Every structure is written in structure tokens, then in C-alpha cells.
Amino acid sequence: MTNTLLRAPTACIRLIIVILMAAFPGLVFAQNDASAHTLVGNAPMEMFFVPSGLCMTDSEQTTLKNFYISKQPVTWQLWKEIMGTRSGGVSSDSLPVSNVSRDEVELFILWFNQKTGMQYRLPTEAEWTCAVRTGLLSGDTPSFYRDGNVAATGFRLAMDDPKEVRAAEAARKAEQERLAAEKAAADLARKAEQERRATDKTEAQKSIVQQLRTERRQQRQNRLDALPSSVFFTINAAYTSMPQWSYGFKVGTVKFLGWYFCAMTNFNYKGAFTTFSPNNHYVLTGNSRTTYLGGQLGLVVRPVKNLSIHIGAGFGYRTLNFESDQGWRNFPKRTYYGPTASAGIMFHIKNVVLSVEATGMTYDLNKLNETRYTIGAQVGVGYSFPLGQ
């Protein structure tokens, strides 16, 4: 109800303005004449300012925006200055342009605007009719409003209100900026959502991987927990770079963690031996022999059901008593000793145990402060006995 009451006075005021415009055009527009604009050469173009309002036509009321319309039709003088030529048979350049096509008129306005920097156009039929009915213009409506082809009686120029044009341009620019800002915000939100989803997906994948790893570790631990503690015993054989063969045994316990003890000896081995002098190799006689005895303690770790890893350290003791078959005199008995170490793996195939390891020993050669090292390989086979069964 309030909006209806507000619109009613406005409509009445507009109707009064239209009546005054029709009855006393000079009174209404006396203050609205635009100043003359010198456009090209000596051809002035003066414009009437037509304010927005209701223009009465034969059949309907049309609401127009503010616009300008030229006081005089475009003359052949102005046409010739812009187009460079005029139709033949015209006696005076001051006469209005006539018998030109609509396309020629549009081309004229295009070049006219390029030279003047203005935004002239043809008035619409409603603007022409409004200007005629309010007394600003006189004469018949140009024929191109009827058939769109030829301006038989001349044409005038019109122009939108520059203030409204600037306001519309500012509003359009503001709308474009608003749409751009909304698009940027939407793009930013979409990108943030994509990043969030990607992060969630990555975190979910990490969680799944971590969960699978945890489950595998738990399953492995469950299998190891299900294994009973067992005692294993193996018979071992080793060959070292002395050169020397040795034999022995290994005994220990294992579940996830365990321990072992290993003892090795060579049982008075007789054979080739590299003496104290480097690069000299001799064949020992029947009276020559080497005696070795070593022991180790170690730790066993069983990460999976069928495999365990073991490392150990201990002490080795060696005696040498030999003579050469090349007439060398008998050497007195020598004693060598030093630390030993080993590292290897054991395979558990049901109750059968297979072991492979590397061994090493360091000792002082003949008490001459010359340290020697021996390395070797040791294998073993044996059996494990579950405890508590």
C-alpha cells in the first residue's frame, strides 16, 4: 500500500510535465538548450536537451531516458565535410541531406564520431516523436523510420546524456568487478575445496597405509607370539684363510630374542700352512700340526617366522708346532690368541635349522707386534626343540 501511494504522486508529476511540455515547450526547455558545439570546420551542431519523462504517443506511453537531439537536420555542407562528396543536383549546401540510404547515414555517423570523439547516433522513432509532440522539432518523421531505407526529408543526430552514460559505464564496470570478485572468490573456494579434498585423500591414504603396516606388524608379531620358545643345536664346519678347517657346535634358545654359544676346534689339523715370512708357503711334515680352540657368545633376533639373525663375539686360541720338508729346522711351539667375531643368518624350516655366517679373528703374529687377520665362512645344520611341548 505504501509503495502504491508513493508511485501515484510521481505519475501525476510526470503527467503534468508532459502537458506543460506540449503546451509551452519554450517554458519547459528554455533552460535546457545545450550550448553550441563546433564539431568540424565551421559547421556548428546545437542540441536540445530532453529530460526523462512520459511521452504521449498515439497508442501508448513510452518512458525515455535523458537525451540530446540536434536543433537542425544534418546539412549537405556537413555531409560533404565528413563523406567528401554529396549527391548531384543539390543547389545549396545549407539544405538538409535527403535521399541517402540508412547504411550511408550509419557510415556518416561512424566517421563523424571518429573525427569529433563524440557518441552521436540516430534518434529512435520514440525520441523523434517525443521531440515533435513536445514542440522541440517540427516536420514529418523521416521515412527510414517507416521503411528503414531512405531518409527523404533529412535526419537529425541524437546523443545519450553523457552523465547517464558515465553512470551506466561505472555501474557496468562495478558489476563486472563484482562478478570478477565473485568468480575469484568462487575459484578460491573451489581451489581450497580441491586442496582440502586432496589433503583428506592423502591423509586417508596415509591412514590406510599406516593401518595396513600396523596390521602386518601385528600379524607378524602374533605369528611370532604364537611360536613357542625353542632350543636349537647345530653341527658346524668352518674354513678360514689360515688356511684351516675347524669343526664344532652351536647351541642356543630363540623366540623373538634369544642367545647362543658356539665352540670350534680343528682337532690337530695337519697340512699346508703359510709361515711367518710373507708370500712363503711350505708343506708341513707329519710332525707339524696346528691346534685351534675358540668360543663365542651371541644374540639371536627372529624378525620373521622362518628367519633369524645372529651376531656373536668371543676369543680364539691357536698353537703352532711344525717343521719343513725342505730341511728347515724345527720351529719351537708358538701360541697365538685374539678376539673373534661372527655374523650370519639361520633358516628355520619346521624344526630343521640351517645356518650360514662369516667369521673373523685377529691375533699378534709370533709376538712381533705384527697383527694378522683371518676370515672364513661357517655353515651348520641342526634341529630345534620347542620348550614346553
Which residues face 151 on adjacent strands?
Answer: 100
pLDDT in tens, 33-86: 333 333 433 345 788 888 876 565 555 666 778 888 888 888 888 888 888 876
pLDDT at 136 over 60: yes
What does the mean pLDDT of the chain come to? 75
Average pLDDT over every residue of 188-192:
92
Residue 52 half-sphere exposure, CB side, CA atoms within 13 Å?
A: 10
pLDDT in tens, 314-337: 998 877 665 555 544 445 556 778
Count helices and strands (H / E) in the chain.
7, 19
Give the residue carrying C-alpha cell 643345536.
Answer: 233
- How far is residue 319's CA from residue 333's CA, in Å, rounded to a whole number? 7
* DSSP conformational letter for 80: H
- How far is residue 159's CA from residue 29's CA, in Å, rounded to a whole number? 17
pLDDT in tens, 256-285: 889 999 999 886 555 544 444 445 555 555
pLDDT in tens, 30-41: 333 333 333 433
Of 289, 341, 292, 332, which Cα lies nearest the Cα of 314? 341
Band (10; pLDDT cuts 50, 70, 90): very low
Say what the pLDDT of residue 222 is: 79
Of 220, 108, 218, which Cα lies nearest the Cα of 156? 108
Identify the burial level of 222 via C-beta atoms within 10 angstroms of its C-beta, where 0-12 means exposed, 13-18 middle and 19 or more buried. exposed
Q: How would DSSP label each residue in 227-285?
A: SPPEEEEEEEEEEETTTEEEEEEEEEEESSEEEEEEEEE-SSB-S-EE-SSTT-EE-B-
Band (149; pLDDT cuts 50, 70, 90): low
